Amino acid sequence: MSVTQQQVLDALSRVASPRGVPLTNANVLSAISVTDGKVFFSINVDATEARAWESVRAQAEAAVRAIPGVSTAMIALTAERKPGAPQAPPAAHRHSHGVQPASAHRSPQGAASPMSKQAEIPGVAAVIAVASGKGGVGKSTTALNLALGLRDLGLRVGLLDADIYGPSVPRLTGIHEKPQLNDDRKMIPIMRFGLSIMSIGFLVEEDTAMIWRGPMVMSAITQMLRDVAWGTLDILVVDMPPGTGDAQLTLAQNVPLKGAVIISTPQDLSLIDARRGLAMFKKVNVPVLGIVENMSYFQCPECGTRSDIFGHGGARHEAERLGVPFLGEIPLHMSIRTTSDEGNPVVASEPDGPHAAIYRAIGTKVRDRLQGAIAAA
Ligand code: ADP
């Protein structure tokens, strides 16, 4: 039996709000999305009231989860600041909306405190972001192959596809099943290629992912980080949404990142975007582990001849200029694309080939930069 919107509303009408009326009469609910037992909506309140509403958000979520047939309930609490209200902490200055992630720590004022970033994920030694200033530079392909390169170094590795606007990990890995829940109602990541993998694309259809409201992005990603039974991992690689807008900044600020890897192509435009990415992580005090130049040069699949069609080397020079480590160059090669599109990434399908060696070399540099964090855990 499929879950209806009316069932969700009925459940929510039994949750009291701080305004002394049922939640459904408090004029705070966004549109409610119900698809295949997955329920998404947000509770929108003024930032000054946010603390009082956190427990309501949790009660609402519990009420929705208790409806027979509901497999997932993601409820965001979004706190809008009124014009002239006190400013949020520096890193959030540019936001007109402050987002209240489900499980972040709060300061007494109800704004995200620096602690929210420190909230580690139990069992996960280091979370790293793979980011790009814009889409289409091969960020997801690199994130997955880098995760596999790290796996080849003997590390326990997870991959979280947080590219909520266009999750590509289902396609890149060929995973089309939905995650199961364990006894604690946490989602069990899908194991493939020796990686623990989770993607928003396992839960919603690709076109639904495109229409998420901004504030819901953070809540969904926080839940994927914390409501997933990751087990013990040395490194969790997060494939970030492309770009450097508010959603990405909030994510970088709220996810307990030990570092970030920036993917760029050699073209100037992409480097300008990459610079924005660097600035974003600097702003939220996340160390940049380095820059990877993807599609660095063209390698002929027939004869192996190398052509520097994009004027290769731009990312290396830029990294040197900015004092950021340069992690490596990945060629534009047919087999990287075809293996990705077949759901069988090149490091897994051609483990002895030259491309796998490149991703492993990049993985080695990343691991060495994270060594302290992994050893400490
Ligand atoms: P993004 O995550 O930045 O949007 P994707 O990883 O989805 O980018 O890659 C975009 C396209 O480019 C995909 O078709 C992918 O197979 C291809 N691609 C990525 N990196 C390479 C590469 N080094 N060589 C050949 N094709 C690549």
CATH 3.40.50.300 boundaries in the chain: 124-376
Q: Distance, CA 332 to ligand 1 centroid (Å)?
A: 9
Q: Distance, CA 263 to ligand 1 centroid (Å)?
A: 11
Atom 16 of ligand 1: nearest residue by CA position: 337
Per-residue pLDDT averaged across 320-348, rounded? 92
Q: By the 8 A CB rule, do 209 and 35 touch? A: no
Q: Distance, CA 194 to ligand 1 centroid (Å)?
A: 22
Q: How far is the C-alpha of 361 from the C-alpha of 321, rounded, in Å?
A: 22
| Amino acid letter for position 337 | R
Ligand 1 atom with minimal separation from the 337 CA: 16
Task: Return the percentage of the chain with pLDDT > 70, whole number.
Answer: 81
Ligand 1 atom with minimal separation from the 332 CA: 24
User: Could you name the CATH architecture of 5-91?
Assistant: 2-Layer Sandwich (3.30)
The 10s digit of each residue's pLDDT in 359-376 is 999 999 999 999 866 766
Calculate the alpha carbon distances from 350 to 27, 196, 334, 335, 359 in Å: 56, 20, 13, 9, 12
The 10s digit of each residue's pLDDT in 210-263 is 555 556 667 777 778 888 999 999 999 999 988 887 777 877 877 889 999 999
Q: How far is the C-alpha of 56 from the C-alpha of 61, rounded, in Å?
A: 8
pLDDT at 107 over 70: no
Q: How far is the C-alpha of 269 from the C-alpha of 280, rounded, in Å?
A: 17
CATH number of 124-376: 3.40.50.300
Q: What are phi and psi of 59, to 5 degrees?
A: -65, -40
> Ligand 1: which residues within 6 Å by Cβ?
132, 135-141, 168, 242, 294-295, 330, 332-333, 336-337, 340-341
Query: CA 277, 120, 99: angle at the middle one, nearest 5?
Result: 60
Strands (E), 133-251: 157-161, 190-192, 195-199, 233-239
Ligand 1 atom with minimal separation from the 331 CA: 23
User: What pLDDT score does 79 carry?
Assistant: 62
Q: How far is the C-alpha of 282 from the C-alpha of 252, rounded, in Å?
A: 10
Q: How far is the C-alpha of 238 from the C-alpha of 221, rounded, in Å?
A: 10
Q: Is 243 annotated as a binding residue?
A: no
CATH 3.30.300.130 boundaries in the chain: 5-91
Q: Which of 86-90, 180-184, 227-231 is most confident?
A: 227-231
